[in-house]
Structure 1
Amino acid sequence: MNMEKKKVDVLEQMQNMTIDLNSKALIEKAEKDGVETMYKRKLGYKVQCGFGLQGVCCRNCGMGPCRISPKTPRGLCGADEHTIVGRNYARMCAGGTAAHSDHARDITHTLGLTTPGGAYQVAEPEKLKEFAQFMGVDPEGKDIYELAHEVSEVCLMEFGKPHGVSKLLARAPKVRQDIWKEYGIEPRAIDREIATVMHSTHIGCCADIDALVHMAFRCSMADGWAGSMIGTMLSDILFGTPKPVHTEANLNVLDGNNVNIILHGHEPTLSEMIVLASELPEMQDLAKEVGADGITLSGICCTGNELTMRHGIKIAGDFHQQELAIITGAVEAMIVDVQCIFPALAEVATHYHTKFITTSPKAQITGSTYMEFHEETALEDAKTIVREAILNFKNRDASKVMVPELKSEAMVGYAEEAIVGQLNNVVNTQIDDMNTLKPLIDVLASGVIRGVVGVVGCNNARTPSNYNHLTIMKELIKNDYLVVTTGCGASAAAKNGLMLKENAAKYAGKGLATVCQLVDIPPVIHLGSCVDNSRILNICSLVANALDMDIADLPVAGCAPEWMSEKAIAIGTYVVGSGIETFLGVMPPVTGSSRAVEILCGSIKDKVGACFHVNEDAEALAQDIMACIEAKRPHFEELYQEKVLNKRVSGELACLY
């Protein structure tokens, strides 16, 4: 009896780590199947390393590890807690910048491989021409593929050019560019900023917390205002600018009668080819030959966001559901590329028929089926991988299949152009031009919408999965704050009905609900994957430029309620560096240094106009966000009166929009 009670207690503890009902059901199935999951492993880490949580453990040389405590206040080399925390923080920023920017590098190389009729083609020629001009490439009289190859070379130089700063900084308001120049955080070549951090945090180099934070910001700016921005722009050019599209989300999107293929990771160069391959008549015929009705593709993590916003392909789940997807027993193959992939998937797959297929030399995993994907032979490689998945259908064990019952619908795919397109629904063409941000600016200035908040990022086992995301989003929209979202935060919203237009009346305050009805948008707007946080920077810049303001003047904020990755730290840092107050639901590993906390959550604001705020209580964090924006509104409204209303009277407004 005691053993049975203990089992129930363990199951309850694991199920309490998520609010997703599908996940709870599959956690129970995993226990019955004898499969270890993240939820089980978390129970073994009830007390995590205090030195690591505070960021005061240094492993940067062979004399250590050194851990700072009252008895040992310095490492063997003499580094104090401020130096160690600063070095670790800077290295996290470098890791995140490297991940996003290497993703962008691969997209940039792929643009150089485009050919008419080839696997990779230019989907948005006009966007390519506009971006070419911005990057200093004259498109006049050039074949579109010649232009694509030239833009590819120019963008590759942003990773390793010997002189100058990122060209993409010019997208920001001039006043913001001046702030970056004054503080010295204009990023140079992307790889240079990463290398500078790694060199400077080697033993015997930088031991000043202010200097370490400074280089962490400069490195992270290379992520947001170079790597991620290039990745987003070139993905649109290659695969199409997202447009609003209907989709479904959560693990019920798996089809028991079909070959189920899940794509997990981040790079659309792979996933777009899997989509093409799976749609080929030969693949559909093969699926029927093995006894399936067809092929169902779905996505997890940022690949899920990339696929859903361009094709409406369904979202299977988020970061914390990757093991659970296999535990359904209904997945023929989980195909992965890079980032956020659990090594545990290899072991989980051994309990079912699922093939766990890795494709990138950057993310090989022991126990996986490694099928290397090459952009040069992209479609052929994709066909080989899809064929492997289809042929595995006959190995499915019906006795092990349990597809959970719940899913939700969502409207996704709101790129910058799509948002402007929706705003056209409320334009009076007798007095205003179409295709501007003026309707958004007007409802912000009037206070009908109190502000805009980007709620983005990961899932973290230190918080119940999705709880922080949903608590904060619901509180914000209830109080007339428009929410934009990316990454696994977007998956949480999609799985819970917050991306449905018809749910605006149910969840949103009167002002926001009215705007949603008139503009025909949901109260939570899907902007894409984590790389697409650059869309948030771009929208803020467009609004600030239209109003002749700085980004820091706008009633906006950023929030990562359940962040966990180094990429998220880099994102948060470049968002702060862009002048946007940033709120975290999990404390970064910096509390071992009072000076680091004081800089990041305080004095950095004197330099860049924003800082971090941390509160691990989701309800309180939502209140913090709203209080911050409300405190900014009088200044914003005053500037709006000065720069817009007064000029509207004098007829000068046209130049501002």
Structure 2
Amino acid sequence: MKAEAFTNCSASRQMIDKATREGVSTAFHRVQEKKPCPFGTGGTCCRICYMGPCRVKDDGRDAGVCGATAETIAARNFGRMIAAGAAAHSDHAREVALVFLAAVRGEAPGFEIRDEEKLWAVAQDLGLDPAGKSTSLLAEEVALRVLAEFGQQEGELSFIRRAPAKRQEVWQKLNIVPRGIDREIVEMMHRTHMGVDQEYVHLMLHGMRASLADGWGGSMIATELQDIIFGTPVPIRAKVNLGVLRSDQVNIIVHGHEPLLPELILLAIKDEELQAQARAVGATGINVAGICCTANEILMRKGVPVAGSVLQQELALATGAVEAMAVDVQCIMQGLGQVARCYHTELFTTSSRARLPGVTHLEFDPQRGLEVAREIVQRAIKRFPQRRKVEIPAEEMDLVAGFSHETIKYILGGRFRASYRPLNDNVVNGRIRGVAAVVGCSNPRVRFGDLHTTLVRELIANDVLVLVTGCAAINCAKEGLLVPEAAEIAGSGLREVCEAVGMPPVLHCGSCVDNSRLLIAATEMVKEGGLGEDISELPLCGCAPEWMSEKAIAIGQYFVTSGVTVGFGVAFPTSGSSKLSDFVFGGMEEYVGAHWFYEPDPVAMARVIIEHIDAKRKALGIDVARERVLYDMEMRRKLEVV
């Protein structure tokens, strides 16, 4: 199959062709050989016990050996995906919290508190009193409090209280407020064990609870602590795509999801001794670039260039210009090891949780993190003279990233009037039709990147403000959608707002754990007033058109449970059960005021999102432009003053 069939990204197509010529196997080659199992795709393949595995048809008669029906099997599988996704995000948060604690105790050289204002705000949200406490003492209390929330058995997670009061009432009524992060994940795994919970709605209700333990627990903890220790993002310009690699410099790629070691690598390359070593082997300097969500983390805080999304990890090595790649956890392809051996790249695994066969392991430890970072840089420098044929695509694109919810408030109202009021006002008056969150992975089973960008172009053309995270953000950035100039292709209302503020119509909000920022942004819109009293009333929708990982399911479910309708493309893991699909696509609305939908076509997905937003506008009574009336003095006297 020709490379054009895989992606709209010309840099990626160039590297796919190069890998093909050189006999290097990548995900794009392997996906042609592997066809998805129809039972597995629809969620009705049960491999929980070895009376099976059982593949069950949705005909009302078929069942597994134990009698499990299609809807029970699909619900179990869906619940396990939520648990795995929540575990991934929450384990990320745990690692950050442990390093955070080590840093404030002076046991992690290179790390320090960079946002004291946010430290105070987070402490108060955790129920701690910052008054009269030193920064280090307060930070230690914050670290210990969030670490306790992983293992607590009773009570509620602290950040749940950030949600609108009406949303909390919904969760309380359903008894799905998470008690402890690890408890809900473990219980999900227990319930889905053979012979335990076998009622699909009951299974899905606990899936909602486990998802909240991610969105308002693990993911939110990771985001908040990373902001405190690395700095809360502010808008920053940078470059994206494989063209950010440099033929005359030592290229180091950091890939994964935990920005801890990458931050230290960025610190290490400032050392003049290491720069001199690079010059001694013929390089003009040292260039660090990111892949996947690590890329988003260091992009939005440091302006580090982004080499690409998850599906470009092997293609970056195929350039022949990458001396070292350091990976940690999540979305790391095992095929990287084989690709690295085809070139001169040294591949490093750095997390105690993850190794690859035949790959150098240099484990990150906060006490000797700088030492590990320096060793990776030094070994990369030694690889520079071993380069053979180098072919770096020319494509690189400008982008603006770093839109935290604090930043959005600031750019709309300034330091002393920071507020979502201008956003709400422009939604009410119709200049902004609504808001869409476009998030999630890239998937080689579709023309990767094309679904994201086609959808986003359609949305902004219809005055929908788009918030992006993860690989969706990277794909949109490569197509020039994350710069203020992109407002030229937006609808007249959205364009007017973007030009007034000086912002892009598509806002980069961070990595996949930073989807929790979007929950806070939605909550701020509710609190600001004028758009209802709950997240479910907002003209807001979420989607992941190219999803592939279990984390995407966890994210999607915590959005739905929070009141945001969510659409997925590619395939949907309940399609093998009509009963469960009817519940997630409709019946769930009765419980949490939102539901899932499935639409693989990006233009059709945009249409569904716009129709959903319009329905929310109509319910709020803001679907018709209000007549502007100039009040005279007599009319003013008649106004009631409260």
- Fold shared, TM-score > 0.5 on shorter chain: yes
Q: Specify the alignment match of 1:576 in structure 2.
A: 560
Q: Specify the alignment match of 1:69 in structure 2.
A: 57
Q: Specify the alignment match of 1:482 in structure 2.
A: 465
Q: 1:637: Cα distance to partner?
A: 3.4
Q: Does residue 513 of structure 2 align to residue 531 of structure 1?
A: yes
Kept in 2: contact 1:445–1:640 (CA 8 A): no
Residue in structure 2 matching 1:590, options 556, 574, 577: 574
Q: 1:639: Cα distance to partner?
A: 11
Q: 1:607: Cα distance to partner?
A: 0.9
Kept in 2: contact 1:114–1:148 (CA 8 A): no
User: Which letter maps to 2:509?
Assistant: L
Residue in structure 2 matching 1:440, options 423, 430, 435: 423
Q: Does residue 354 of structure 2 align to residue 354 of structure 1?
A: no
Q: Specify the alignment match of 1:609 in structure 2.
A: 593
Distance 1:636 1:275 in 2: 48
Q: 1:640: Cα distance to partner?
A: 12
User: Counterparts in 2 of 1:192-271, with a 5 A limit?
Assistant: 192-271=183-262
Distance 1:562 1:416 in 2: 25
User: Counterparts in 2 of 1:98-137, with a 5 A limit?
Assistant: 98-115=87-104, 118-137=109-128
Q: Specify the alignment match of 2:633 in structure 1.
A: none
Equivalent pairs, count: 626
1:422-454 CA-partner distances (Å, limit 9, x unpaired) = 1137x9xxxxx7211111111000011000100
Q: Specify the alignment match of 1:96 in structure 2.
A: 85
User: Which letter maps to 2:394?
Assistant: E
Residue in structure 1 matching 2:526, options 528, 533, 544: 544
Residues 651, 469 of structure 1: alpha-carbon distance in 2 compared, 3 angstrom cutoff: farther
Distance 1:160 1:636 in 2: 41
Q: 1:123: Cα distance to partner?
A: 0.5
Distance 1:554 1:190 in 2: 28
Q: 1:650: Cα distance to partner?
A: 5.6
Percent of residue pairs bearing the same amino acid type = 45
Residues 18, 641 of structure 1: alpha-carbon distance in 2 compared, 3 angstrom cutoff: closer
Q: 1:284: Cα distance to partner?
A: 1.2
SS at 1:362 equivalent: coil
Residue in structure 2 matching 1:510, options 492, 505, 510: 492
Q: 1:586: Cα distance to partner?
A: 2.4
Distance 2:570 2:174 in 1: 28
Q: Specify the alignment match of 1:620 in structure 2.
A: 604
SS at 1:537 equivalent: helix
Q: 1:369: Cα distance to partner?
A: 1.1
Kept in 1: contact 2:325–2:347 (CA 8 A): yes
1:366-424 CA-partner distances (Å, limit 9, x unpaired) = 12111111112111111112211111111111xx2100111110011111121112113
Residue in structure 1 matching 2:395, options 399, 406, 420: 406
Residues 332, 184 of structure 1: alpha-carbon distance in 2 compared, 3 angstrom cutoff: same
Q: 1:587: Cα distance to partner?
A: 2.5
Scaled by the length of structure 2, what TM-score is found?
0.95
SS at 1:447 equivalent: coil
User: Which letter maps to 2:189?
Assistant: M
Q: Specify the alignment match of 1:655 in structure 2.
A: none
Distance 2:470 2:242 in 1: 17
Q: 1:184: Cα distance to partner?
A: 1.7
Q: Does residue 492 of structure 2 align to residue 496 of structure 1?
A: no
Residue in structure 2 matching 1:308, options 299, 305, 325: 299
Distance 1:67 1:520 in 2: 54
374-383 vs 19-28, greater mean Cα deviation: 374-383
Residue in structure 2 matching 1:417, options 395, 399, 406: 406
Kept in 2: contact 1:15–1:27 (CA 8 A): no
SS at 2:232 equivalent: coil
- Unpaired stretches in structure 1, ≥5 consecutive residues: 1-9, 428-432, 653-657
Q: Does residue 513 of structure 2 align to residue 522 of structure 1?
A: no
Residue in structure 1 matching 2:616, options 619, 632, 650: 632
Q: Specify the alignment match of 1:179 in structure 2.
A: 170
Kept in 1: contact 2:62–2:69 (CA 8 A): yes
Kept in 2: contact 1:133–1:139 (CA 8 A): yes
Distance 1:302 1:267 in 2: 8
Q: 1:638: Cα distance to partner?
A: 5.8
User: Counterparts in 2 of 1:236-385, with a 5 A limit?
Assistant: 236-385=227-376
Q: Specify the alignment match of 1:3 in structure 2.
A: none
Distance 2:229 2:390 in 1: 37
Distance 2:613 2:314 in 1: 38
Scaled by the length of structure 1, what TM-score is found?
0.93
64-73 vs 33-42, greater mean Cα deviation: 64-73
1:502-551 CA-partner distances (Å, limit 9, x unpaired) = 2211x211111111110110010000000000000001001101216101
Q: 1:70: Cα distance to partner?
A: 7.1
Distance 1:509 1:626 in 2: 13
User: Which letter maps to 1:69?
Assistant: K
580-589 vs 302-311, greater mean Cα deviation: 580-589
Distance 2:121 2:406 in 1: 14
User: Which letter maps to 1:447?
Assistant: G
Distance 1:276 1:496 in 2: 30
- Unpaired stretches in structure 2, ≥5 consecutive residues: 630-638
Distance 2:465 2:569 in 1: 19
User: Which letter maps to 2:575?
Assistant: T
Kept in 1: contact 2:465–2:505 (CA 8 A): yes
Distance 1:187 1:640 in 2: 40
Q: Specify the alignment match of 1:33 in structure 2.
A: 22
1:204-249 CA-partner distances (Å, limit 9, x unpaired) = 1111111111111110111001111111000000000001110000
Q: Does residue 587 of structure 2 align to residue 599 of structure 1?
A: no
SS at 1:316 equivalent: strand
SS at 1:113 equivalent: helix
SS at 2:542 equivalent: strand
Distance 2:567 2:172 in 1: 25
Distance 2:234 2:221 in 1: 19
Distance 2:187 2:274 in 1: 48
User: Counterparts in 2 of 1:385-396, with a 5 A limit?
Assistant: 385-396=376-387
User: Which letter maps to 1:154?
Assistant: R
Distance 1:24 1:440 in 2: 39
Distance 2:436 2:300 in 1: 20
Kept in 1: contact 2:452–2:475 (CA 8 A): yes
Kept in 1: contact 2:109–2:370 (CA 8 A): no
1:169-215 CA-partner distances (Å, limit 9, x unpaired) = 11110000000111122111000000001111111111111111111
Q: Specify the alignment match of 1:50 in structure 2.
A: 38
Distance 2:144 2:186 in 1: 21
Q: 1:110: Cα distance to partner?
A: 1.2
Residues 558, 201 of structure 1: alpha-carbon distance in 2 compared, 3 angstrom cutoff: same
107-116 vs 450-459, greater mean Cα deviation: 107-116
Kept in 1: contact 2:430–2:625 (CA 8 A): no
Distance 2:4 2:242 in 1: 16
Kept in 1: contact 2:429–2:622 (CA 8 A): no
Distance 1:411 1:107 in 2: 26
Residues 308, 70 of structure 1: alpha-carbon distance in 2 compared, 3 angstrom cutoff: closer
Distance 1:272 1:626 in 2: 39
Q: 1:651: Cα distance to partner?
A: 6.3
Kept in 1: contact 2:58–2:577 (CA 8 A): no
CA RMSD in angstroms comes to: 1.8
Residues 651, 565 of structure 1: alpha-carbon distance in 2 compared, 3 angstrom cutoff: farther
